[in-house]
Each structure stands twice: as C-alpha cells, then as structure tokens.
Chains A and B, each alone.
Chain A
C-alpha cells in the first residue's frame, strides 16, 4: 500500500520562528489533508490540498502531486501551535486514508 513519510519527526521552535514540515508519499493520491492534533488529543483539519497551494492565516500548504510531496508552512509560530501535525492521504483506487507518523512540534515562549 501507499507509504507516507513525514519530516522532521520532532521540531522545537522559539516563538515567532518560521518552519516547514514535509510529507512525502509513494503513490498517486486522490486526497491529501493536513491535521493538527492539539495536546488534548483533538484532531483539527488544517488543509484539504490534493494539489496546489492554500493559505489560512499564518499557515499555508503546497502539494506537488506530480512529485509526490506536500509542505506545510507555519510562520510566526505561537505556543498554541504546539502539538502533532499529521499528513494523511487517500491513494487513487482506494477509499482508505493513511496517516504519516506525524511531526511533533513544541513552540517555546
């Protein structure tokens, strides 16, 4: 089945810093989503982005489907950005969504 790899696995930032999280996938995808899981375990949809670029406030994401990767940009990070960021993909020809291992982010005040 499709493989999803996220990097880096862990990231520590000083408040106000910028960061880029990467998601590589091994096969063509129908869907790609970025989620933020907050410290209380809640999964929050950030972006639905099978291709192209989207922006939402301090966050933006780009997916280059032909090269099988997606990037999540966090600018001017805040302590509330802490948590785990997951990339999740649905491969073509299937209805299952597979998650990457996640990037664990800690933003220091």
Chain B
C-alpha cells in the first residue's frame, strides 16, 4: 500500500487568487493522478502527472487553469489558478500500488471553498 499526504486539508480562498495543493507519497511512483470532486458529484480525473514530462490533461481541463508540477517520483503539486466559486470542490491526488494491476490509493483530499 501507499501512504499519501496532501496539504492543505482545507482552505477558503478569494476569487481571482490561486492555491497550490501538495501531494507527497511515501514511495516512488511513476504516475500520480489528480481528481476533482464537485459538491454532491463523483470524482473526475483532471490529469495524470508523470515525472520528467508534462502532465496529460483530460477533456475539459487545461494547463493554464490547473498547472501541475512533478519534480520527482514522490511529489506533485496541483495549482488551481484564478479561482472562481465554481472551483469549490474536493481535490484528491492518487497513486497506483506497486506492480501491475494494483489498486488505486487516495490521499485525504483538499476541501477548497472559493468566495
């Protein structure tokens, strides 16, 4: 299994500002995933963060709005830029287990509220 630490756990931000969320894993992983969960909704994949290359974004998500860094195999950040109230969500990072066909592990998430 993997232990994932996410910071901050929650934040309240003003519209127009940006927030950077950090994700630290206790083991080296090739891929890290960032998800968004809007209020009352399911989880939607934002992007896949690979070390040494640009993140791969899903349809509806763009790098200018959600820039991602992946400086090494145990750490990633997601920035929510120029925030609006519609960005109020839980943001979660996740990693696959070691080996093939392994289950996905999740951090505890970042609860973001934008006023």
**A45:B103 contact, CB within 8 angstroms:** yes
Write out the residue numbers on chain B whose beta carbons fall within 8 Å of the beta carbon of A61: none
| From A31, A33, A43, contact of B92 by CB (8 A) | A43
A97 within 8 A of B: yes
| From B33, B41, B108, contact of A97 by CB (8 A) | B33
Contacts A41-B90, A41-B111, A97-B104 given; indicate if A86 touches B43 (C-beta within 8 A). Answer: yes
A interface: dominant SS: strand
Distance of B89 from chain A, by nearest CB (Å): 11
Q: How far is the CA of A97 from the CA of B47 in the complex (A)?
A: 11
**B101:A100 contact, CB within 8 angstroms:** no
Contacts A33-B103, A41-B90, A43-B92 given; indicate if A99 touches B42 (C-beta within 8 A). Answer: yes
Q: How far is the CA of A43 from the CA of B95 in the complex (A)?
A: 13
Interface residue tally of chain B, by bracket? Answer: 20 to 34
Q: Which B residues are within 8 Å of any A CB, using their own CB?
A: 31, 33, 41-45, 48, 58, 90, 92, 94, 96, 101-106, 108-109, 111
**A43:B106 contact, CB within 8 angstroms:** yes
| From B41, B44, B104, B109, contact of A33 by CB (8 A) | B104
A30 within 8 A of B: yes
Count of chain A residues with a beta carbon within 8 Å of a chain B beta carbon: 20
Q: How far is the CA of A31 from the CA of B99 in the complex (A)?
A: 13
Distance of A17 from chain B, by nearest CB (Å): 24
Q: Which A residues are within 8 Å of any B CB, using their own CB?
A: 30-31, 33, 41-43, 45, 48, 50, 86, 88, 90, 95-102
| From B31, B42, B58, B101, contact of A86 by CB (8 A) | B42
| From B31, B41, B92, B106, contact of A95 by CB (8 A) | B31
List 22 A–B pairs whose Cβ atoms lie within 8 Å, in order of A's numbering.
Answer: A31-B101, A31-B102, A31-B103, A31-B104, A33-B103, A33-B104, A41-B90, A41-B108, A41-B109, A48-B102, A50-B101, A86-B42, A88-B43, A88-B104, A95-B31, A96-B33, A96-B48, A97-B45, A97-B94, A99-B42, A99-B43, A102-B42
